Amino acid sequence: MEITLVLSLLVIAIFLFSTEKLSVDVVTIILLVILTATKILTPTEAFAGFGSDFIIILASIYIISGALQQTGMLDLIGSRLLKIARTKPNMLVSVIMFTVGATSAFMNNTTVTAIYIAPVISLARKIKINPSRLLMPVAYASILGGTCTLIGTSTNIAVSGYLEKSGMKPLGMFEFLPVGLTIFFIGLVYMATIGKRLLPDHKDQDFTEEFGLRQYMTEVVVLPGSALIGQKIFSSDIAKTGFRILNVIRGKENFLPDKSTIICAEDILIVEGNIDDLLKVKEASGIEIRADVLVNKDLQSNDIRLAEVLVTPQSDFVNVSLKNANFRQRYGLVVLAINRSGQALREKIGSIVLHVGDILLVQGRVEKINYFKANRDITIMEDFKPLLYKKRKGLMTLSIFVGAMVIGASDVLPLSTALLLASLLIVLCKAISVEKAYETIDWKLLIMIGGMSAFGTAMIKSGAADFLAHNIVGMMSRYGPEAIMAGFIVLTVFLTQPMSNAAAALVVLPVALQTAQQMGISGRPFAIAVMLSASVSLITPLEPSCILVYGPGRYRFVDFFKTGFLLTVILMMVLMLMIPYYWPF
């Protein structure tokens, strides 16, 4: 009965993770509540993962990464990348991938991807090539670079923590570096040769094309004697009909209206809505429909600008509507349209729930947009301008980080203690504020990893892991451990499509370890295989790093399959060959 319940919960979790109907942290908490209510897990077992040292390691890495961003160290790397890449156009993809991969080896790969999107788009526009030729290599490099060290990705840290909880030796900081470097450099060479020819060349569209603005925006002149004169703009008759009034042109002045703005005769209103509906209210409102809007002229001026904002995984806007986020009141910016996976969304914008990878077209005063740039939870996709480089604090943060890794790798202190101490020192040095440090942590990911670690315990206690392992051994034992390991690699790659990499690894890992135990062989090679195979799935854009570049690169789903399928197969074969060599059965 318990086996059936646990396996049913697993199927339900995979479905919910893939549909994103509920947030991953909510799904995880529901699983834990059910497991404790049915007494498969005790409360101590269910919530033990949240107090584990791998949670401390992950939180510390987020804080250190945030400090490196705040001090401008990562922007400095981005600006150096632009200079190097301009001088070596033939090595452009290789230079970008090497830089991104080296950064990703010591930081969360999704964060790294978000950091490099703006400078790479800026570089592409300066040398007059389409961003689609460069952004997919950025995502792939960040994913593969994370396979080189223990702290390169949350998946590695989660697997190491689970091994330690299972009574096995945790993974060393550089234990799998030879395999990780091989994977990364094969990916780099592939993308610089074969992949370079397979990359799509999608045109970098302007605002009008990308968001389909022209057919929805119109200039409206308020005629003398119009009933609109004297009305407050957001409660006016024209606003009540469902039109959004974006700009007001009054004489030579072009400005954004607010709730106190009064409509005057001869005002030119830039309105958004269906032209057919506007024609119906033309006579009653006393207006003249003049022409289609010229985006650069009517929606921008010396003081007012348009900008594209990329929603990142750390953003406060994820799974929240613009209305509930109080976006306009909070930032003083108007969202004109949303681009999601190549589709422009313009109707009832305030009610649209935002997803990671959405691109918002915002309009606002220059100083508001510049202030928005300082918010490191989002990415402004325009000409890249490095954040003010705080040299002393930046070098201090980097030195503390390197020192913590050396101390942790040499076992002078446990890695979790070393990184936590580094985070504390960085906060005390004021490289990042306490408030901002908490904001940089991806709490949803920590909850998901802590909870899924407990789910692994439930699979073992209920007998579900033993049941699956027994069947796997019965069917595959005659083919040897190499074939069974290959099966786990394929299974993990498959599960990373609907689930996050860490969740997929934590689902497969208990079964893999139980299988090794039943076969009487070491479980370490199986664990390494599951962990690394979670980071070589480059077939679909469902991995967070790929989701981030999907919109800015104007990619289609098939682009990732076309470019990444062969590379994924090659990397899986590399794992099958190298893992038994370094970690014998």
For residue range 427-436, list pLDDT tens digits in order. Answer: 998 888 888 8
Question: Has residue 189 got a pLDDT over 90?
Answer: yes
| Structure token pair of residue 80 | 């150096």
Contact 228, 285 (CB under 8 A): yes
Sheet holding 304-311, edge to edge: 343-345, 334-340, 359-365, 304-311, 378-380
Lowest mean pLDDT across 165-179, 335-349, 565-579? 335-349
pLDDT of residue 352: 81
Contact 75, 118 (CB under 8 A): no
Task: Tell how strand 244-250 and strand 268-272 pair up.
Answer: antiparallel
Surface-to-core class of residue 161, CB atoms within 10 Å of its CB (0-12 exposed, 13-18 middle, 19+ buried): buried
Task: Tell how strand 334-340 and strand 268-272 pair up.
Answer: unpaired
- Identity at 49, one-letter amino acid code: G
Average pLDDT over residues 319-326: 78
Enumerate the domain spans of the chain: 2-40+461-582, 59-204+389-440, 215-292
How would you write 514-583 as a 3-class SS string? HHHHHHCCCCHHHHHHHHHHCCCCCCCCCCHHHHHHHCCCCCCHHHHHHHHHHHHHHHHHHHHHHHHHHC
pLDDT of residue 186: 96
The answer to pTM > 0.75 is: yes
| CA-closest candidate to residue 191, choices 135, 267, 265 | 135
Sequence-ordered list of residues with C-beta below 8 angstroms from that of 466, at least 6 positions apart, any chain = 460, 514, 518
| 16-65 pLDDT tens trace | 877 767 778 888 899 899 989 988 888 888 888 887 888 888 888 888 88
Sequence-ordered list of residues with C-beta below 8 angstroms from that of 325, at least 6 positions apart, any chain = 316, 317, 354
pLDDT of residue 372: 65
| CA-closest candidate to residue 121, choices 320, 364, 380, 315 | 380
| 483-542 pLDDT tens trace | 899 999 988 988 887 777 888 888 889 999 989 888 889 989 999 999 999 989 888 887
| 301-313 pLDDT tens trace | 667 777 787 887 7
More confident residue, 89 or 552: 552
Lowest mean pLDDT across 57-71, 278-292, 442-456? 278-292
Question: Has residue 376 got a pLDDT over 60?
Answer: no
pLDDT of residue 448: 85
Lowest mean pLDDT across 192-201, 325-334, 384-393, 405-414? 384-393
Which residue stretches of 345-442 are H helix? 366-373, 391-409, 415-428, 434-440
Q: In 146-191, at which residue ranges do the beta strands (DSSP E only) sit? A: none
| Structure token pair of residue 438 | 């908490």
Angle between helices 24-37 and 443-462 in degrees, nearest 10 = 30
Alpha-carbon gap, residue 495 to 508, rounded angstroms: 9
Contact 447, 455 (CB under 8 A): no
Alpha-carbon gap, residue 405 to 174, rounded angstroms: 10
Provide DSSP, 437-469.
HHHHS-HHHHHHHHHHHHHHHHHHHHTHHHHHH
Q: How many CB atoms within 10 Å of residue 581?
A: 10
Q: What is the CATH number of domain 215-292?
A: 3.30.70.1450
pLDDT of residue 279: 60
Residue 160, CA distances (Å) to 176, 314, 505, 506 in order: 12, 24, 11, 10
Average pLDDT over residues 420-424: 91
Average pLDDT, the chain: 81
Alpha-carbon gap, residue 34 to 41, rounded angstroms: 9
Beta bridge partners of 244: 272
Beta bridge partners of 339: 344, 359
Q: How confident is the model at residue 101 (pLDDT cuts 50, 70, 90)?
A: very high
Q: How many CB atoms within 10 Å of residue 576?
A: 17
Alpha-carbon gap, residue 14 to 10, rounded angstroms: 6
Contact 382, 305 (CB under 8 A): no
Alpha-carbon gap, residue 338 to 343, rounded angstroms: 8
Sequence-ordered list of residues with C-beta below 8 angstroms from that of 504, at least 6 positions apart, any chain = 492, 495, 496, 534
Contact 278, 228 (CB under 8 A): no
Alpha-carbon gap, residue 406 to 45, rounded angstroms: 32
- Identity at 438, one-letter amino acid code: Y
Contact 272, 346 (CB under 8 A): yes
| 494-505 pLDDT tens trace | 888 777 788 888
Alpha-carbon gap, residue 570 to 518, rounded angstroms: 30
- Identity at 487, one-letter amino acid code: G
Sheet holding 287-292, edge to edge: 253-255, 244-250, 268-272, 217-222, 287-292
* Coil/strand/helix, residue 308: strand
